[in-house]
């Protein structure tokens, strides 16, 4: 498995300062002290310079994910696989690599048009994370930022691409029906992991979303941090998209809230860190043991 973790995400915003306020006051992230003074917003959560970049854009939407690869040899293997699959691969410029704080990157799109970047030699500023609202810390490090769930209308094609070309492995499959109609075909979701213990770093949802993303996930240290986060969200009049609950597949205790980008963020704790040597992929018939009552 050649992809190590979800290194960062990039978000477009008409006014990045909205994300500055939301990221600090609700999510509990820290403005990166060493970030470029370019009018964009860079949010820090650990020893990396930043994990979320919010850049000036004509629209409020998700832009891309950065996936960390261990070394240049592994990157070349992935580039070769992408090209063999007929995918256009664009080398990132020196300026883009400097902005991402990496040695090298390449860019491509998946079969559903989702944008990705593969990166090597990510920088560590080793600066202390100090949350402006007192969050003790996030579960990241070698497991990366968290996870993203991407729209994938052609789910079978997308799943094959991530598995056969990029090397993600299956952890769980779910199939949802959104009405009592017996003829409702429902929609599927694949959950996939990369080379770290996090249950899934990638989700694929059989549908569209105008924001370009279904949700991303941030994991905090314990239940109290989730509760404090829920209080901050409510105090800021943030829309709560799903009530507190515990997922059946990754055991995450979490709630969901709307972001300024129009997509959701899952804010949770106690995610399952899996021993892949003994794990067998599952099919879950329920999304959550309890809770997670959605109000979109």
Sequence ranges of the domains in the chain: 3-120, 141-291
pTM for the model: 0.95
Which helix (H) or strand (E) segment holds residue 148: the answer is: strand 147-151
- Note the pLDDT of residue 250: 96
Assigned architecture for domain 141-291: Roll (3.10)
CATH class of 3-120: alpha beta
The C-alpha torsion from 289 through 171 and 193 to 224, rounded to 10°, is 10
Q: Copy the structure tokens of residue 34.
A: 């060493």
Predicted confidence band at 66 (pLDDT cuts at 50, 70, 90)?
Answer: very high
Q: Copy the structure tokens of residue 131.
A: 């949350």
Nearest to 271 by CA among 291, 289, 286, 251: 251
- Note the pLDDT of residue 11: 98
Which helix (H) or strand (E) segment holds residue 254: the answer is: strand 253-258
Distance, in Å, from the CA atom of 75 to the CA atom of 249, rounded to the nearest integer, reads: 30
- 169-176 and 52-56 strand pairing: unpaired
Instruction: Name the 3-class secondary structure at 268.
Output: strand
Whole-number average pLDDT of the chain: 96
Distance, in Å, from the CA atom of 264 to the CA atom of 296, rounded to the nearest integer, reads: 9
Predicted confidence band at 187 (pLDDT cuts at 50, 70, 90)?
Answer: confident
- Note the pLDDT of residue 178: 65
Number of neighbouring beta carbons within 10 Å of residue 125:
16
Lowest mean pLDDT among 58-62, 157-161, 174-178: 174-178
Do the domains spanning 3-120 and 141-291 agree at the CATH topology level?
yes
The DSSP secondary-structure symbol of 130 reads -
Contact in structure between 197 and 209 (CB atoms under 8 Å): no
pLDDT, tens only, 190-228? 999 999 999 999 999 999 999 999 999 999 999 999 999
Number of neighbouring beta carbons within 10 Å of residue 62:
25
Contact in structure between 19 and 56 (CB atoms under 8 Å): no
The DSSP secondary-structure symbol of 141 reads G
pLDDT above 70 (res 266): yes
Distance, in Å, from the CA atom of 59 to the CA atom of 226, rounded to the nearest integer, reads: 30
Which CA distances in Å does 263 have to 133, 143, 220, 239, 258? 23, 22, 20, 11, 6
Biggest distance spanned by C-alpha atoms of the chain: 55
- Note the pLDDT of residue 37: 86
């Amino acid at each position: 498995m050649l992809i190590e973790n979800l290194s960062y995400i990039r978000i477009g915003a008409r006014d990045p300062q909205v994300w500055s306020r939301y990221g600090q006051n609700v999510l509990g992230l820290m403005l990166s002290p060493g970030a470029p003074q370019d009018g964009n917003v860079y949010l820090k959560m650990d020893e990396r310079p930043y994990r979320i970049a919010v850049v000036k854009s004509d629209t409020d939407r998700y832009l891309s994910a950065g996936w960390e690869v261990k070394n240049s040899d592994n990157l070349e293997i992935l580039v070769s696989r992408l090209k063999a699959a007929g995918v256009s691969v664009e080398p990132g410029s020196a300026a883009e690599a400097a902005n991402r704080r990496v040695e090298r990157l390449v860019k491509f799109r998946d079969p559903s048009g989702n944008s990705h970047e593969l990166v090597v030699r990510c920088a560590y500023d080793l600066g202390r994370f100090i949350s402006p609202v007192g969050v003790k810390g996030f579960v990241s490090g070698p497991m990366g930022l968290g996870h993203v769930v991407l729209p994938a209308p052609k789910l079978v094609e997308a799943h094959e691409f991530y598995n056969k070309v990029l090397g993600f492995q299956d952890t769980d499959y779910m199939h949802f029906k959104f009405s009592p109609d017996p003829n409702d075909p429902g929609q599927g979701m694949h959950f996939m992991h990369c080379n770290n213990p996090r249950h899934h770093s990638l989700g694929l949802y059989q549908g569209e979303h105008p924001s370009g993303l279904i949700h991303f996930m941030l994991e905090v240290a314990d239940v109290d941090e989730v509760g404090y986060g829920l209080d901050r969200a409510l105090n800021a009049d943030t829309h709560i998209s799903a009530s507190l609950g515990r997922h059946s597949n990754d055991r995450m205790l979490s709630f969901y809230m709307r972001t300024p980008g129009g997509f959701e963020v899952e804010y949770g704790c106690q995610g399952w860190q899996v021993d892949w040597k003994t794990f067998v992929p599952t099919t879950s018939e329920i999304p959550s043991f309890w809770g997670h009552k959605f109000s979109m």
